[in-house]
Amino acid sequence: MQPPTDTLAPPDLNFDSEVGDSASTVENPTVGIDQSVGDFTYDVKYAFDAGSGLNEGVIRYISDVKKEASWILDFRLKAYQTFLEKPMPTHWATKDLENIDFNKIRYYLSQGQKPKRTWDEVPDDIKRTFERLGIPEQERKFLAGVEAQFDSEAAYSNVKDIVAKQGVIFCNSTEALREHPEIFRKWFGKVIPTGDNKFSALNSAVFSGGSFIYVPKGVKVAMPLQAYFRINAENFGQFERTLIIADEGAEVTYMEGCTAPKFSTSTLHSAVVELVALKGAKIQYITVQNWAPNVFNLVTKRAIAMEDAEVKWIDCNIGSRLTMKYPGVILKGKRARGEVISIALANDGQHQDTGAKMIHAADDTTSVIVAKSISVGQGRSTYRGVVHIPKHLKGCKNNTECDALLINTNSRTDTYPAIVVRGDTHAVQHEASVSKVSEDMIFYMQQRGLTEAQAMSLAVNGFVNDLVRQFPMEYSVELKRLIDLEMEGSVG
Amino acid sequence: MPTLEIRDLFVALAATPDKPIVKGLNLTIRTGEVHAIMGPNGTGKSTLSKAIAGHPDYVITSGDVLLGGKSILEMEADERARAGLFLAFQYPSEIPGVSIANFLRAAVQARLAEGEEIDATAYYKRLYSKMDLLKIDRKFTSRSVNEGFSGGEKKRCEILQMAMLEPTFSLMDETDSGLDIDALRIVAEGVNLMRGEKLGVLLITHYQRLLDYIVPDFVHVMYDGRIVKSGDKTLALELEAKGYDWVKQELALSASAAVATA
Amino acid sequence: MSAPALSTTPAEGFTSTRFAQHLSQRAYLPAWWLEAKKAAWNQFNALPLPSRTDENWRFSDLKGLDLSGFTVPEDHSQKIPNHSGFAQAAEIVFSNRQVVARSHVSAELSSKGVIFAPLDEALRQHGDLVRTYFQKHPANLGSAKFVALNTALTVAGGFLYVPADVEVDLPFVIQHTLTGNNVSVFPHTIVVLGPRAKATVVEFFVSGGSSSVTASTLARSAPAAERQLVSGVNDLHAAEGAQLTYVGAQRWSRETLAFQINSIAVERDARVLSLNLHLGGRQSRHESHSRLLGPGAHSEMLSLTVADGDREFDQRTLQTHISPHTTSNLLYKNALLDTAKTIFSGLIIVEPDAQKTDAYQKNRNLMLSDTAEAHSLPGLEIQANDVKCSHGSTSARIDAEQEFYLQARGINPTEARRLLVSAFFEEVLNKLENEDLHASLTALIADQFKK
């Protein structure tokens, strides 16, 4: 398949046949990691394929396939220029970023159909993926709505009637910008400007999929809305775009899960997530990602919180080759509150470079950051934080706690907070510590009959327990299981 | 009837294997029996219990420990525990974030056969009945293991674990240390409730007062790495009355007598 | 020993001609030294000024790094220094690079092999010793260009050598004063303690020609607003079991651009306490890099800053744990007034072999004005797992409850505030064993608040 030029490529020529039906065909050189949950691929026929590499033609192709308004194409093309101009942030970030080959990545793959409202309508090859990941079952049990994205587009999108009747909009980015521009255009790209960083610019140029949510004034969505992001194809770049607007006094919890199978070549996931919590609104955004160890996961997440609004990011990063993600809150209205709860687990060959940004922009705003990381084997976890309290504000508070747990002698952790405080009416506090699991604690547990590995797993689960308790039950169980899997092979 | 046999045991710190702390100790405990080892500080009592449990800081340089006739020296600490050995720690570790209920559940699960899942309802039923027996508040189970516990709470937590894991032999290392008399009584009641044909107990203590509450079948005096005197519960009283210097003097006398006869 | 007298008309700026002149005037010094100066001069010219993407200069005012128009003064202040203050082992006083006063170490110390001399003299008489320790462990915090400038042009500086097992109780004092507009100075002090030796070194840095630093003289002659440039460097070495206390106190003029680069090397079981007091300058950058080189080594890194006016204090630190079983403790306290700005950027690095490291780092900013600005970047890079490492940073105003408590006891608000600020600094000053020194620094700080 040649990269498309200015014209729309014929839809019937694209057939992705490189990927085998089972995980067994894919070699996994990394020891001690079981990504078995997500490590499978199915042979899928893609109707639309933008080919490998990035140029203006690819962007026009994506926009064409989506039948977008011209302002969106303009937005994309401008973002592409910004992407080209922006340097890699390697003066502070890891040089591993230079290993991303933008020419090898496939920027758009889809079957070209609208997302289905029932699982029965979802094509079998995609449906079995999500069934294996347990999505339909979770939906039945405890979710208000689900969107399931497969590579570039959502395959399934449904919101329960009771929620739809309240006026809640929950759909993908293409549909949202086409059907509800009056709601979404106002905030689209406003919380995170295109030029925020090289990868937000890339996303803005080629974005596809993601969730756009609007919760009307005063509506409190009782059950969580969930999106599941699945990468299926090798060398693929997933660039979903999420925008959640909670109108005055509205409340919503959104959860996302992410997986990809293991490939020997690298995959790129680069999302942009914008949250808008209007006066008195509450948004809780929960991420549990379990990326395969070949994924570059470079995500920009930011929220704006108006007067008395509350935004809470719960961000749990497991897997990937490199994750760079610093969820932020711009505390724009008085008494707004922002919170980031971050858990990161870096195993051999992985670098979790995560943290938080709290930008205070109004009086009496409060922010809280609690970050816990675990480094296993030669894994490296890095915390980066920004707390910014500029001039002329009164009564702002920040409390930051970072705790790192190092499992093996060659595990690594870094902490790089940056705190700016102007004025004498604020209280800002940052504490960080590094520790290991004590030998006495392991012996104590062994004496009760647990193996060293079980003891280690229990200690690690205990280390993050106070944070995991804030997760919905189903997710905390899942997280515990993922940690157990990651801890296997870490001892002895 | 199962036995725990300690045969001519020599134990040293792993860091200094040429300096033995336990020096040729012999002792056999049968289930149904309660033995007490008494002795002055620094005589190797705690070293003995940790070495039997398989603590990595200690190395057994010679001798053997047999559980039900089989040597346990090649076993990892957790294997020894699953084989029926329980150590009640003098200073139990704190495990932040891990609740007692979850911890015990993992320990009970570890004793089940591969593929066998714990029956959660039955587990909690049993846990609560043991707690009622030991007069422990149910709220206790949701607290992190030993974290922020008082000395008495820690020891009760040890006894609760012992009750749940039902060991064949329990080594109780200075279980009385740091306890006021009420806490001591509660702990002792717990042990007495579990006493019986299926359990052998080795009480390690510096003071006689614990033995007022848990009356031992046998009392041994440990000095300089070995057992130098054994008897029944009256030995403990005699020791209390005369002090450890009495043992030292007796030892010196018998040593000079030995020299004289030689 | 002062440099030979030269033309009193200084050359303009840091030109090659001026540097050649500087070298030719010092032909009597060892060849290796002159070569080192040449290499440094070339390095200074080759290195770019810090740029916006340089992480070591994050939040710094890069526009303030203007080196143009400065000259190297050849004449010194006519004021005769007035020896006073606390009891000293010996003192060297520099005025505009030249030694203007000096007291020698006692015959007893001298017979034990203690050397305390201006750098020029030490280079001539103990060249090999100086060579061994000069920039043996250069600090690695972003100021290579300014360190090179120091090496190229340094004249003023002290050299202290205390041999094995010699303990000196009284402090050695080195004083640098700078007078004049558009003048610059490049102090370089080297301190070497042999195994189990013990000594205290106090270095004062002041503008305005007052060459004796006591609280009273400083109070009387507030620094004048002369534009000045300082790039100071020191090399502190503590051999096995040695105990070094180093105090550096600066009160440059309010138009001074100042760099001070500390390098601290701590060997097995040695202990170094360094305390830097920052009061003056327009833009004052201080870098301090401790290396823990042997088991049992400990570095105590302390700093106190009174940031008032529109000054910028830029502090960068590194605690590098190279050997296992080493400890370090950093406490940097800043009191911020007016529109002052402080930057604390500290990093603990635990290298892979440095198991059993115990390292701590704390930055506390006391916000005393609604327009002051504190930046705090406490960092950790840990590559060994069996370690105890933590850091903390707080930026807050005086505790309102404490303030009220004092007022409730009848103390007026101004006095209450003054008491609480001095209590804030006392935690650091308390770590000084020498009470005279403690009192002297307390007085300096109090004086800064009186203005």
Q: Per-residue DSSP letters for B154-205?
A: HHHHHHHHHHHH--SEEEEESTTTT--HHHHHHHHHHHHHH-BTTBEEEEEE
Looking at the DSSP bridge assignments, the partners of residue A227 are A147, A256
Q: How far is A461 from chain B (nearest CA, A)?
A: 7
User: With contacts defined as CB-CB under 8 Å, which chain A residues touch C367?
Assistant: 421, 423-424, 426
Reported as a pLDDT band with limits 50, 70 and 90, residue A99 is very high
The contacts of residue B48 (CB under 8 Å, 6+ apart) are B6, B9, B11, B22, B25, B37, B204, B222
Euclidean distance between CA atoms C144 and C140, whole angstroms: 8
SS3 readout for chain A: CCCCCCCCCCHHHCCCCCCCCCHHHCCCCCCCCCCCCCCCCCCCCCCEECCECCCHHHHHHHHHHCCCCHHHHHHHHHHHHHHHHCCCCCCCCCHHHHHCCCCCCECCEECCCCCECCHHHCCHHHHHHHHHCCHHHHHHHHCCEEEEEECCEEEEEEECHHHHCCCCEEECHHHHHHHCHHHHCCCCCCCCCHHHCHHHHHHHHHCCCCCEEEECCCCECCCCEEEEEECCCCCEEECCEEEEEECCCCEEEEEEEEECCCCCCCEEECCEEEEEECCCCEEEEEEEEEECCCEEEEEEEEEEECCCCEEEEEEEEEECCEEEECCEEEECCCCCEEEEEEEEEECCCCEEEEEEEEEECCCCCEEEEEEEEEECCCCEEEEEEEEEECCCCCCCEEEEEEEEEECCCCCEEEEEEEEEEECCCCEEEEEEEEEECCHHHHHHHHHCCCCHHHHHHHHHHHHHHHHHCCCCHHHHHHHHHHHHHHHCCCCC
CA distance B78 to B88: 14
Q: Output the pLDDT for position A111.
A: 79
Q: Quote the domain boundaries for residue A62.
A: 11-487
Q: Report yes or no on A259 lying in a domain.
A: yes
Residue C312 · residue C338 · CB < 8 Å: no
Q: What is the pLDDT of residues B111-170, one digit of tens each?
A: 998 889 899 999 999 999 999 988 888 889 989 999 988 888 899 999 999 999 999 999
pLDDT value, residue B201? 97
d(CA C105, CA C107): 7
| Chain B interface test: which of A437, A448, A468, A469 (most B C-beta within 10 Å) | A448
Q: Calculate how close chain A gets to B141, using CA atoms only, in Å.
A: 15
Q: Give me the residues paired with residue A337 across strands.
A: A310, A366
Please report, rounded to a whole number, the percentage of residues in chain A having pLDDT higher than 90.
64
Q: Does C420 touch chain A (CB under 8 A)?
A: no
Side-chain half-sphere of C63: how many Cα atoms within 13 Å? 0
The answer to whether residue A115 is domain-embedded is yes
The verdict on C395 touching A (C-beta cutoff 8 Å) is yes
C-alpha C349/C-alpha C289 separation (Å) is 11
Average pLDDT of the residues in A374-395: 95
A196 belongs to a structural domain: yes
Residue C220 confidence (pLDDT): 43
Residue C292 contacts residue C299 (beta carbons within 8 Å): yes
Helix count (H) and strand count (E) of chain C? 10, 20
Q: Tell whether A2 is covered by a domain.
A: no
Q: Nearest by CB to A463, which of B97, B102, B161? A: B97
Residue C401, H or E segment: helix C400-408
Beta bridge partners of A215: A246
> Considering only B28-42, C278-292, C417-431, which range has the smallest mean pLDDT?
C417-431
Mean pLDDT of A84-101: 93
Q: In Å, what is the CA distance from A366 to each residue of A275, A311, A397, A469, C294?
A: 17, 11, 5, 22, 44
- CB within 8 Å of B257: residues ≥ 6 apart: none
pLDDT in tens, A458-491: 999 999 999 988 887 777 887 888 888 888 777 7
Instruction: Report CB contact under 8 Å: A452, B106.
Output: no
CA distance A401 to C164: 45
Q: Are B86 and A447 a contacting pair at CB < 8 A?
A: yes
Q: Chain C: residue nearest A418 by CA? A: C377
Amino acid at A59: I
For the cut 70, the answer to whether the pLDDT of residue A154 exceeds it is yes
pLDDT class for C286, splitting at 50, 70, 90? Answer: very high
Residue A6 lies in a domain: no
What's at B16, amino acid-wise?
T
Cβ-based contacts of B172 with chain A (< 8 Å): none
pLDDT of residue C10 exceeding 50, the answer is: no
Is A197 inside a domain boundary?
A: yes
Q: What pLDDT is recorded for position B261?
A: 57
Query: Which of A442, A447, A491 would best serve as a mutation to test chain B binding (most B beta carbons within 10 A)?
Result: A447
Residue in B with minimal Cα distance to A459: B95
Task: Give the residue among B54, B69, B45 at the shortest CA–CA distance from B172.
Answer: B45
Closest approach of A193 to chain C, Cα-based (Å): 21
Q: CB distance from A395 to chain C under 8 Å? A: no
Query: CB-based contact (8 Å) between A178 and chain C?
Result: no
In whole numbers, what is the pLDDT of chain A averaged over residues? 87
> What pLDDT, on the 0 to 100 scale, is given for residue B258?
64
- Report the run of H or E that residue C33 belongs to, with start and end: helix C31-46
Instruction: With beta carbons less than 8 A apart as the criterion, state whether B164 and B174 touch.
Output: no
pLDDT at A312: 98
Closest-CA distance of chain A to residue B170, Å: 11
Q: What is the tens place of the pLDDT at every residue in A164-196?
A: 899 999 999 999 999 999 999 999 999 999 999
C320 vs A51 pLDDT, higher one: C320
Give the mean model confidence (pLDDT) for residues A264-292: 93
Mean pLDDT of A236-259: 94
Could you say which of C59, C378, C396 has the minimum Cβ distance to residue A427? Answer: C396
Task: List, in sequence order, every residue forming a beta bridge with B170; answer none if it has no partner.
Answer: B86, B201
pLDDT tier for residue C238 given thresholds of 50, 70 and 90: very high
The Cα of A438 is separated from the nearest Cα of chain B by a number of Å equal to: 9
Across the interface, of C377, C381, C386, the residue whose CB is closest to A418 is C377
Q: Please tell me whether residue C356 adopts helix, strand or coil conformation.
A: coil
Q: Of A153, A290, A289, A296, give the one whose Cα is nearest residue A235.
A: A296
Closest Cβ–Cβ partner in B87, B102, B104 for A447: B87
Is residue A295 in some structural domain?
yes
| Residue C242 burial (CB count, 10 A) | 27
Does the beta carbon of A433 lie under 8 angstroms from any beta carbon of chain C?
yes
pLDDT band at A234 (very low <50, low <70, confident <90, very high): confident
The whole-number pLDDT of residue C221 equals 47
Kindly state the tokens that stand for B8.
């001519």
- Chain A residue with CA closest to B160: the answer is A448
CB A482 within 8 A of CB A468: no
| Least-confidence region, from C31-40, C44-53, C83-92 | C83-92
Dig out the tokens for C142 from the structure: 């972003």
Q: How does B49-64 read in b/e, with b if 16+ C-beta sit within 10 Å? A: bbbbbbbeebbbbebe
> Cα(C347)–Cα(C320) distance, rounded to whole angstroms?
8
What stretch of H or E contains C98?
strand C98-103
Q: Which two tokens mark B211? A: 């033995």
Residues of B in contact with A463 (CB under 8 A): 96-97
B234–chain A Cβ distance below 8 A for any pair? no
- As a whole number, mean pLDDT of residues A34-44 equals 67
Q: What is the mean pLDDT of chain B?
A: 90
Question: What is the mean predicted confidence (pLDDT) over C207-224?
Answer: 49
Q: Count structural domains, chain A.
A: 1
Pairing of the two strands A366-375 and A397-406: parallel
**Percent of chain C surpassing pLDDT 70:** 91
Task: Tell me the nearest-neighbour CA distance from B56 into chain A, angstroms.
Answer: 8
Min Cα–Cα distance to chain A from C387, Å: 6
B81 contacts A446? CB cut-off 8 A = yes
pLDDT at A98 over 60: yes
Average pLDDT over residues A433-453: 93
Q: What is the DSSP letter of C196?
A: T
Instruction: Report helix angle A135-142 to A124-132, nearest 10.
Output: 60
> Domain residue spans in chain C?
16-293, 398-451
Q: For residue A439, list chain B residues with Cβ-Cβ distance below 8 A.
A: 56
Is A424 close to C377, i.e. CB distance below 8 A?
no
Residue A87 in this model has a pLDDT that exceeds 80: yes
Predicted pLDDT at A134: 80
Chain A CB contacts of C330 under 8 Å are none
Per-residue pLDDT at A219: 97
CA distance A132 to A114: 22
**Lowest pLDDT segment from A38-42, C81-85, C95-99:** C81-85
Q: Enter the tokens of residue B154.
A: 């820690």
Q: Is the pLDDT of residue A238 over 50?
A: yes
Q: Tell if the CB–CB gap between C355 and A430 is shorter than 8 Å.
A: no
Enumerate residues 11 to 50 of chain B having a beta carbon within 8 A of any beta carbon in chain A: none
**Residue C174 pLDDT:** 95
Q: What radius of gyration, in Å, describes the C-alpha atoms of chain A?
A: 22
Residue B44 or A265, more confident = B44
pLDDT at residue A20 is higher than 60: no
Q: H helices of B54-150, where?
A: 77-82, 100-110, 120-133
Domain-located, residue A23: yes
Identify the band that residue C77 occupies on the pLDDT scale cut at 50, 70 and 90: low
Q: Per mean pLDDT, which range of A442-456, B32-46, B243-257 is the poorest?
A: B243-257
Considering only the beta carbons, identify the residue of A413, A426, A435 that sits closest to C395.
A426
pLDDT at B101 over 70: yes
Give C319-338 pLDDT, tens digit per residue: 999 999 999 999 999 999 99
**ipTM of model:** 0.88
Work out the pLDDT band at A1, boundaries 50, 70, 90.
very low
Which residues from chain C sit within 8 angstroms of residue A431, using beta carbons? Answer: 390-392
Radius of gyration of chain C (CA): 21
Tell me the chain A residues in contact with residue C355 when contact means C-beta distances shorter than 8 Å.
409
What does the pLDDT read at residue A475?
Answer: 79
Q: Give the domains, in start order, of chain B with CATH numbers.
A: 3-94+167-261 (3.40.50.300)
Strands C90-95 and C98-103: antiparallel
Q: Is C316 on the interface with A (CB under 8 A)?
A: no
Do chains C and A touch, with touching meaning 3 or more CB–CB pairs less than 8 Å apart? yes
Q: Inter-chain contact C378–A423, Cβ cutoff 8 Å?
A: no
What chains are in contact with B, requiring at least 3 Cβ pairs below 8 Å? A
Tell me the C-alpha distance between C211 and C81, whole Å: 5
What does chain B come to in residues?
262
Residue B97 has its nearest CB partner, among A454, A455, A462, at A462
- Nearest Cα neighbor of A225 from A245, A195, A204, A200 is A245
Q: Which chains touch C (3 or more CB pairs under 8 A)?
A: A
Residues 442-461 of A with CB under 8 A from B: 443-452, 454-455, 458-459, 461
pLDDT for C129-183, tens place per residue?
A: 999 999 999 999 999 999 999 999 998 899 999 999 999 999 999 999 888 889 9
Parallel, antiparallel or unpaired: strands A145-150 and A225-230: parallel
A410–chain C Cβ distance below 8 A for any pair? yes
User: C282: helix, coil or strand?
Assistant: coil
State how beta strands A153-159 and A145-150 pair: antiparallel
Interchain CB distance below 8 Å, C385 and A423:
no
Query: Model-level pTM?
Result: 0.86
Of the listed ranges A202-211, A271-280, C209-218, C283-292, the one predicted with least confidence: C209-218
Q: How confident is the model at residue A492 (pLDDT cuts 50, 70, 90)?
A: low
